[in-house]
Structure 1
Amino acid sequence: MSDEEAAMDELRQAEARVEQLIAQLSTAPRVGEQAEELVRLLMRLYGEGLARAVALLPAEAVRTLAADDLLGSLLILHDLHPRSTAERVAEALEQLRPFLGSHTDGIELAGIDASGRATVRLHGGCGGCASGTVEQAVERAVRAVAPEVTGVRIEQLPPERPLLQIGSRPPVEVPAAPADVPAAPIPGARL
């Protein structure tokens, strides 16, 4: 494991421990309230400092920061990420497309509602084979780039079948009968 990977692992463990401590403290009524207030105040303080730092940087530098896993997460947490949630989710789905193979004919972000829930449309595919696996892959991809999304709803659309196209054809020319060949009689016709 590289030094950078080890550092990221340590940060993820710290993040998990913070969540665990908050959960434990919230069970003690007075202590829990105080701990939550402390976390809110610290978040506000650090968020404001981060916002000021981002405002001083050129846009390209902010995009570079946003590409880093940890810094990108902090920018998302404080609503400072240069790309919208929808843009990040749509890109993640596009990157997921080649890995879905025959499980779907297409994938797209249908939208994100006011509550933060993303709706993803899967088009066609193999009729629901391994749909749980596909749904898990979609949810992981969305959550990796947009932890602020509150949920992921999958819409499975049937395969699109092309409509039968009936077009007009040019008239078929029937060669004229030679003059010395009598026309064939039409049955039931009177001459």
Structure 2
Amino acid sequence: MTAERTGQRIQQALDALADSGADAERAGEQLVREIIGFHGQGLARLVPALPPPALERMLDDPAVAGLLLLHDLHPEDLAARIDRALAALPERVEAAGFDPDTGTLRLRRTATGCGCGEREVEAALACHAPEVTAVELERAPQLLQIGTRPPQAAEAR
């Protein structure tokens, strides 16, 4: 597909969209398919031409990662993409298991911190691992604090 041919097909879709009433939805879908297809072809040529260090840096950008996933061009597997997304969080969490049938990712905290919520984790995963549709964050066990007795207990003796 050439840029000129793609431009012609996009213009045809725009014309059909403007001229059609009931066919507007179909024309709109065709327009989106043409644009996405053209972008995908360009990215498919661009990605292999990038030096590995440049591509590695670009994979941290959620917009780039999302585009590569959209066009099935992302070079990393799901586990690596999940790890990349989790590494961007302010609090350290690690994957404790992924259920591909439900899309649920179980996470556990590896360090204490301010407390990342599930929304923050889901946002980080959205562009890097859209296969993850739900997150279960394991709660840290309550720690029992051992210290000296309260003053009242010491006086009662």
TM value normalised by structure 2: 0.56
Evaluate the alpha carbon distance shift between residue 150 and residue 95 of structure 1 in structure 2; reply closer, same or farther with a 3 A threshold: closer
Residues 45-84 of structure 1: CA distance to partner in whole angstroms, max 9, x if unpaired?
2201210122233323322333444433322221222323
Give the letter aligned to residue 48 of structure 1: Q
Paired residues for 1:27-176 under 5 Å? 29-96=22-89, 99=91, 107-111=94-98, 113=100, 117-122=103-108, 134-146=117-129, 148-149=130-131, 151-154=133-136, 156=138, 159=141
Q: Decide whether the 8 Å contact of 1:122 with 1:156 is kept in 2.
A: yes
Task: Tell which has more relative contact order, 1 or 2 (C-alpha 8 A, sep 6+).
Answer: 2
SS at match of 2:124: helix
Distance 1:53 1:65 in 2: 12
Distance 1:87 1:145 in 2: 9
Residues 17-57 of structure 1: CA distance to partner in whole angstroms, max 9, x if unpaired?
xxxxxxxxxxx752111111221122112201210122233
Give the letter aligned to residue 120 of structure 1: R
Evaluate the alpha carbon distance shift between residue 70 and residue 94 of structure 1 in structure 2; reply closer, same or farther with a 3 A threshold: closer
Distance apart, 1:144 and its partner CA: 4.7
- Structure 1 unmatched ranges of 5 or more: 1-27, 101-105, 126-130, 160-191
Q: Decide whether the 8 Å contact of 1:121 with 1:157 is kept in 2.
A: no
- Structure 2 unmatched ranges of 5 or more: 1-20, 142-157
Residues 134-160 of structure 1: CA distance to partner in whole angstroms, max 9, x if unpaired?
2222212222533x335123163774x
Identity of aligned residues (%): 29
Distance 2:62 2:96 in 1: 22
